[in-house]
Homo-oligomer: A and B are copies of this chain.
Amino acid sequence: MKIVMIGEAATHRDEIAAELGFEAEYVALPREAHESPEWDEQIDGADVLVAMRFKRPNKAEVPRFRLLHVPGAGLDGIDFSIMPAGSVACNVFEHEIPMAEYAMATMLEHEIDLGKARATFDTERFSAAYLARKPRGELFGKTVIIVGFGRIGQAVATRAQAFGMKVIAISGRAENGHVEGPCSEAYRAEQIDEILPRADYVVLSCPLNDGTRGSFGCTQFDAMREDAVLINIARAAVVDEDALHAALTEQKIAKAFLDVWYQYPAGSSDTVAPAKHRFEDLPNAFCTPHISGWTHGLFERRYSFIAANIARLKSGEKLQNVVYGEA
């Protein structure tokens, strides 16, 4: 069996090998092989291609493989129109756990600001700092609107409810103000502008697609309260970049936690700006380099899942999480 792994995925060869009960041929390719045909000869004939992205400038000539296993959930890096005949694509989740932990951490960061409390602590200033303590806010009783109520949104919601937060879901499955899952109310995307003024927090956790691209713009920032906080753990392009920059500069909202970006390096020696604007220069933008889902636990669970799917492919069993082709 030939298993080709591209970019970051190639660093997880050992996890797959440890889980598989049989020998296989492993080929590791650089990040650039996601979109450049330069390594296609090495991909050609693979049983499994593990790659987060798969695009080709010349659609006529693409390598053949049986299974494209995306080692993540997002499919916006895959051009399904160039999938080889008879091939199948699968994805993996497991990131809802770290992403929900990240989202809760940002909300607690906004209320508590542990780092600031620590930075001002020393023996000499203790008495003054103690006596001058200013009360902070609580998550308890606050409202979080979760845009996109899939695995990630629901994982955030479960934790937010345990904190006594009110959870309002924005979901395509919402009907009559309700949807199944850990929330007290739910609405369709068309109704979001009416609901946004109620939010203390807005968490974006929807997929990027034609319906969501640029869907969070000036109108939505105007609908949010000045003391509200936006947390984007979906895809940057869900939010109109200029509208976001204006909202933060004009303090239409209190803060934005931004973990997802408008541009990413294509290759390992590539250097790109994450956005047109320098968001990190804005005091009310809290920027992190797409770390929300990046945990040891994530990789253990994901590569264990991928290995199990590869074993199924070998034995002819039904694959799990099929997103393209015949299961």
Give A residues with C-beta under 8 Å from B. Answer: 97-98, 101-102, 104-106, 108-109, 111-112, 114-115, 117-118, 120-123, 126-131, 133-141, 158-159, 161-164, 261, 264-265, 268, 270-275, 278, 280, 286-291, 294-299
**Residues on B with beta carbons closer than 8 Å to the beta carbon of A291:** 112, 117, 133, 136
Copies in the assembly, this chain: 2
Distance between A289 CB and nearest chain B CB, rounded to angstroms = 4
Q: Contact check, A138 vs B288: say whether CB atoms are below 8 A apart.
A: no
**Residues on B with beta carbons closer than 8 Å to the beta carbon of A271:** 127-128
Q: Contact check, A105 vs B108: say whether CB atoms are below 8 A apart.
A: yes
Cα distance A272–B123 in the bound complex, in angstroms: 8
Can you list 20 residue pairs at the A/B interface with Cβ under 8 Å? A101-B108, A101-B111, A101-B112, A101-B138, A101-B163, A104-B163, A105-B112, A106-B114, A114-B288, A117-B289, A117-B291, A120-B289, A123-B274, A130-B261, A130-B265, A131-B265, A133-B291, A133-B294, A137-B296, A141-B297
Q: Contact check, B97 vs A102: say whether CB atoms are below 8 A apart.
A: no
**Residues on B with beta carbons closer than 8 Å to the beta carbon of A273:** 123, 126
**Residues on B with beta carbons closer than 8 Å to the beta carbon of A97:** 138, 140, 164
Known A-B contacts A133-B289, A271-B128; A140 and B296 likewise in contact (beta carbons under 8 Å)? no
Cα distance A159–B139 in the bound complex, in angstroms: 12
Cα distance A135–B290 in the bound complex, in angstroms: 11
- Name A131's contact: one of B129, B268, B287, B298 (CB within 8 Å): B268
Q: Contact check, B112 vs A115: say whether CB atoms are below 8 A apart.
A: no
Cα distance A270–B126 in the bound complex, in angstroms: 11
**Residues on B with beta carbons closer than 8 Å to the beta carbon of A120:** 289
In the complex, which residue of chain B has the Cβ closest to the Cβ of A291? B117
